[in-house]
Amino acid sequence: MPYPYNRLDAAGIEYIKSVTSPDRVAVGCDILPEYSHDEMPEYGVFPPDLYVEALNTGEVSAVMKYGYENNIPVVVRGAGSGLAGGATCKYAGILLSVVKMNRIYPVDRKNQTVTCEPGALLLDVQAAAAAEGLFYPPDPGEKTATIGGNVITNAGGMKAVRYGLTRDFVRCIQAVLPDGSVVEFSSNVVKNTTGYDVKDLVVGSEGTLCILTRVTLKLLPAPKFTCTLVMPFPDLEACADMVPKVLDLPFTPTAIEFLERELLEIVERTLNKPFPVPGGGAVLIVMYDASGREELETACDLACEAALEYGAIDCMIADTPERIASVWSVRGAILEGMKADSVGQEECDVVVPRSAIAEYVKAAKKIALAHGIRVQPCGHAGDGNIHTELLRDPGMSDEAWKSATHASLTELYALSKRLGGQLSGEHGIGNGRLEFLEPFLGERMIRLYKAIKLAFDEKLVLNPGKIVEFNTHN
């Protein structure tokens, strides 16, 4: 094991400048403080020794090779919008930004794909597809995240119910391995059994196995029609019980979200955003997309019928852009509302079998309450991914907050495991959830993870200390 790593010296700094460009390199105090963390500084603030912006695969390879040969960690950063403390220089070293590698190549209409560099923003990729009448479905909340970050964390989002995750849209990847080699994982083909499926292993590997330098994404014909249904239910159980019933209908919904009324009231109170449908202890929001109008109408009618049959108080069909926006803008403001309603947040994004949503939510509230903190679960009912936001009230000491969240998270993860769930549905492990991973997966799986990490990065120079930690003296 290479601990301790070498520190970058003056010669190293000059070398990095020589293989990139001096005006794209910063060292020491010239490095912006924000490059020491992602969106969750709680998961670690680690200043890099050097920050460099690469322009192309050749530069990425040269920087990585230098790190490999000199035993200096390299960490890649996109927009810094991660929520797991993944893109940080935990052991100092080089922070390699790909934000300037943001090219989007012309859409390949015949293969219905688009190829881009990792620094391209999700919203720009979506726009490039739309300009050709095509559609890139993955739709995580943060649209100014980079596409590289989306791929490397297998970003999810609300539309996963129908379309799947980022993984399902990755055709092929060009990557730089920790020794600096440039390789391709698959190509622009629809299926592939040519040896091990390294592509899918790399998707979601949080920048610990290789550096993504180019990705080709599958696109779909854009659906022409969309509609959103809002179904208030008397309580959470009835709301959660509706989810499998919706999925049993012949048309697959694009998104199924659930929100409890008290959460809607928080958004209303803190942000003055009223939710258009009154009543009910919990609300199910169901979105349908369709290529034909009849198909959409049939899908909505069947879902409304089923909702009313299974105890919904009402079923509001939002089919104009304004009405649709009035529903989703409240859903989109949830996190902001919770932030306005508390002085601190910690988040747990477990995923449980869809059949276990209600049980999880009820138990989660009890757990948090027992530790003296508020918890507000909400999220992706269609895929069982529950964002469980722990909220800090004013007056709680740092120490009390820290120990209450730690104890709550420990129990929440154990609860998810007991219900057949997983530790993280979308946000990943990074540094922030590292300590919870081994208790969750067990020693044998961690040993396998370490062996996989070493298969790619035997010198542990690429984003060390994330997902797996070899340094027992840490």
- Binding positions for a copy of itself, 440-469, rule CB under 8 A: 440-442, 444-445, 448-449, 451-452, 454-456, 458, 467-468
> Cβ neighbours of residue 300 under 8 Å, at least 6 residues apart?
227, 229, 288, 317, 319
Neighbours of 38 (CB within 10 A): 25
Which residue, 328, 10, 325, is CA-closest to 158? 328
Helix (H) or strand (E) holding 443: helix 443-456
**C-alpha 345, offset from chain centre:** 17
The residue range among 176-184, 227-235, 308-316, 335-343 that interacts with a copy of itself, by the rule CB under 8 A, is 176-184
Between 252 and 471, name the residue whose CB sits nearer to a copy of itself.
252
Q: What residues numbered 199-238 form the site for a copy of itself, per CB under 8 A? A: 200-201, 203-205, 220-221, 223-224
Applying CB under 8 A, the site for a copy of itself has a residue count of 86
Structure tokens at 189: 């083909």
Q: Which two tokens stand for residue 328?
A: 């989703």
- To a copy of itself, the closest distance from the beta carbon of 342 in angstroms equals 25
CB of 109 to a copy of itself, least distance (A): 7
Question: Angle of helix 57-70 relative to helix 10-19, nearest 10 degrees?
Answer: 160
Binding region for a copy of itself (CB under 8 A) out of 39-47, 54-62, 363-371, 376-384: 376-384
Among 44, 421, 432, 465, binds a copy of itself (CB under 8 A): 421
Q: Is there a contact between 253 and 167 (Cβ–Cβ < 8 Å)?
A: no
Cβ nearer to a copy of itself, comparing 46 with 440: 440
Rounded Cα gap, residues 426 and 387, in angstroms: 10
Residues 136-165 that bind a copy of itself (CB under 8 A): 153-154, 156, 160-161, 164-165
Q: Per CB under 8 A, does 130 bind a copy of itself? A: no
112 touches a copy of itself by CB under 8 A:
yes
* Residues across the chain: 474
Give the range of 87-95, 266-274, 320-328, 421-429 binding a copy of itself by CB under 8 A.
Answer: 421-429
**Binding status of residue 1 toward a copy of itself by CB under 8 A:** no
Tell me: does residue 195 bind a copy of itself (CB under 8 A).
Answer: yes
- Of the candidate residues 25, 427, 432, 465, the single one contacting a copy of itself (CB under 8 A): 427
Q: Which is nearer to a copy of itself, 218 or 261 (CB)?
A: 218
Smallest gap from residue 167 Cβ to a copy of itself (A): 8
Name which of residues 331 to 360 contact a copy of itself (CB under 8 A). Answer: 351-355
- The residue among 102 and 208 lying less far from a copy of itself, judged by its C-beta, is 208
Applying CB under 8 A, which part among 117-125, 190-198, 311-319, 389-397 lies near a copy of itself? 190-198
Residues whose CB is less than 8 angstroms from the CB of residue 226 and which lie 6 or more positions away in sequence, other chains included: 254, 287, 288, 289, 290, 296, 324
Q: State the nearest-atom distance from the C-beta of 113 to a copy of itself, in Å.
A: 9
- Judged by DSSP in three states, 232 sits in strand
Q: Which of 24, 143, 167, 406 binds a copy of itself (CB under 8 A)?
A: 167
Strands 344-348 vs 211-218: parallel, antiparallel or unpaired: unpaired
Type of residue numbered 459: K
Based on its alpha-carbon atoms, the radius of gyration of the chain, rounded to whole angstroms, reads 23
> Which one, 53 or 139, has the nearer CB to a copy of itself?
139
CA distances from 43 to 86, 88, 384, 460 (A): 9, 9, 25, 20
Place of tokens 């993955």: 138
- Among residues 209 and 373, whose Cβ is nearest to a copy of itself? 209
**DSSP-derived secondary structure for 342-401:** -SEEEEE--B--GGGHHHHHHHHHHHHHHTT-EEEEEEEGGGTEEEEEEEEPTT--HHHH
Tell me whether residue 29 or residue 131 sits nearer to a copy of itself (CB atom): 131
In the stretch 296-325, what mask flags binding to a copy of itself with x, by CB under 8 A?
Answer: --x---------------------------
Asked if residue 435 binds a copy of itself (CB under 8 A), the reply is: no
Binding positions for a copy of itself, 233-272, rule CB under 8 A: 244, 247-252
Hey, is 204 helix, strand or coil? coil
Q: For the stretch 234-269, what's the b/e string if a residue is b when 16 or more beta carbons lie within 10 angstroms of its beta carbon?
A: eebbbbbbbbeebeebebebbbbbbbbbebbebbee
Smallest gap, in angstroms, from Cβ of residue 94 to a copy of itself? 22
8 A C-beta contact, residue 157 and residue 163: no
Residue 383 interacts with a copy of itself (CB under 8 A): yes or no: yes
Q: Nearer to a copy of itself by C-beta: 75 or 437?
A: 437
According to CB under 8 A, which residues from 72 to 111 bind a copy of itself? 108-111
